[in-house]
Every structure is written in C-alpha cells, then in structure tokens.
Structure 1
Amino acid sequence: MALSEQERKLLEQLEASLMAEDPKLADTLSGSAATRVHRRKAALAGLGFMVGVVTLLIGVQIHPAVSIVGFLVMLGAALLGISSWARADGSPQPSKPAGPKPTPSSGSGSDFMSRLDERWRREHGDK
C-alpha cells in the first residue's frame, strides 16, 4: 500500500525529529552498514560452529586429528561470533571510570535506586 504525499511528509518529519532527539536510537533502528556486516559475520560464525561440530563428530569415527581440527573450527567460530555479535549490538565497550568507584553498601534498596539515578544522570546528562 503506497503512502499519500501528506503521509510521506509526516513520516519524514517524524524521522527527522527522532534523529534530532536521539541519534543513537535512530542509528540503531536504521541498522547501519557496519551493524549489518557484524550481524552477517555472527551468522556465518554460527554456521562455522555447526561445521566444526559435524567435523568433530566425523573425526571421532575417522581419526582423532580430524576431531581436533573440528574442535579448533568450533572454537574459532565461537570467538568470532561472540565478538561480532557484541559489535552488532552497538553497545559501547565498557571503559574504566576516571574517579574512584563507590563501594556498594549492605544491600539497601534506596542505595540501589540512587546508584541507578546517578548512572542515568552521568550517561544522559542533567537536563
């Protein structure tokens, strides 16, 4: 179903306002080229893992060296898949904070909420 001219303009305005308000979310929803590449690598790593499993099982019947190769293929595919999947999420890599880390107290619920509030303010700024 085609959109009318008015609906198309409204959609463009919504997209522009989303980009202005939260560019990180808009980029995540649009799925940048880098994200697609990392997701494709993760999918291929999954297939490589399955090939490694089959090679491992066949190697049990044929020769132990084939099983070792299958295991190494599985291991390499798993490492590649995990790293690609983490990059495809778009989540920033954790970095160490500059200041000293506060120590958690003995399980109070209000402390938990205050830490969440502090983290929110630190990441999103106090607006």
Structure 2
Amino acid sequence: MPLSEEELRMLEQMERALLAEDPKFASTLRGSRMAGSVRRRIILSSTGFVIGIALLMTGVVARQEIVGIVGFLVMLGAAVFGLTALRARHAVPDTPEQALQASQGLTVIDGGRRPRRQRAPRGSGSFMERMEQRWRRRREGGY
C-alpha cells in the first residue's frame, strides 16, 4: 500500500534531519546497502549466465535438446535478473525535484511504481481529427 502524502512528507523530514545531523552515517547507510545488493545481484547473474552457456554447449555437444533448452532458459533468466539490477542502479530521475532529491541523497518512492511518462503528440490534432483528415483525403481521391 503506498504511503500517504503526510507520511511521505514526514519520511522526507526524517531523512533530512538524519542527513543534517550526521551526514557520514547517512551516506554509510544509504551507499553500502544498495551498492552491496546490486553488486551481489550482478555477480549472481554473471555466474548464472556462465552456467547457462555451459549447459547450452553441453546440450549441443551431447545432442540433448532438453539440456540445451534448459541452458538457454538459465542464460535468459540470469540476463533479465542482472539487467534489472543494473536498471535499478542507474535509475534516472523523472522530475527536477527528484533530481534535486537524488543529488541530496533523498528519494521518494511512490508505492514502488514509477510515474507514467506522457507521449509527445505524433501529429497535429487528436486521433479523431487525423482520422477525419484521412477520410476527407480519400473521398477527394487524394489518398
């Protein structure tokens, strides 16, 4: 369940107070836990990927399709696991406020979800207006 606005504000105030009171301790807590977790996930995924390659090659050489398929699936799972770890590590702030908070070491997570980005308009007008323009061109014979 996502935190309410008041809870998020209180959490931000607590983080700022901790950072102001003891910045070294705050940076130690913030940096080591995330960096260690990401590093461990990348090492595990690399190991899994190598094991997957070994299984795939074993399946090819021994002409056992099942072993090769399992090796490919292990490789795929390890790659996804590692890439999600890298993506979480290199998350880009979406708003200037989040960029400022990230530079100060403060982050607010809205229930673990990222806000959706709005797409830029592809052409002039809305979808219906573009469809009407196409219809008019067809009726006039101009495709």
TM-score scaled by structure 1? 0.49
Which has more radius of gyration? 2
TM-score scaled by structure 2? 0.44
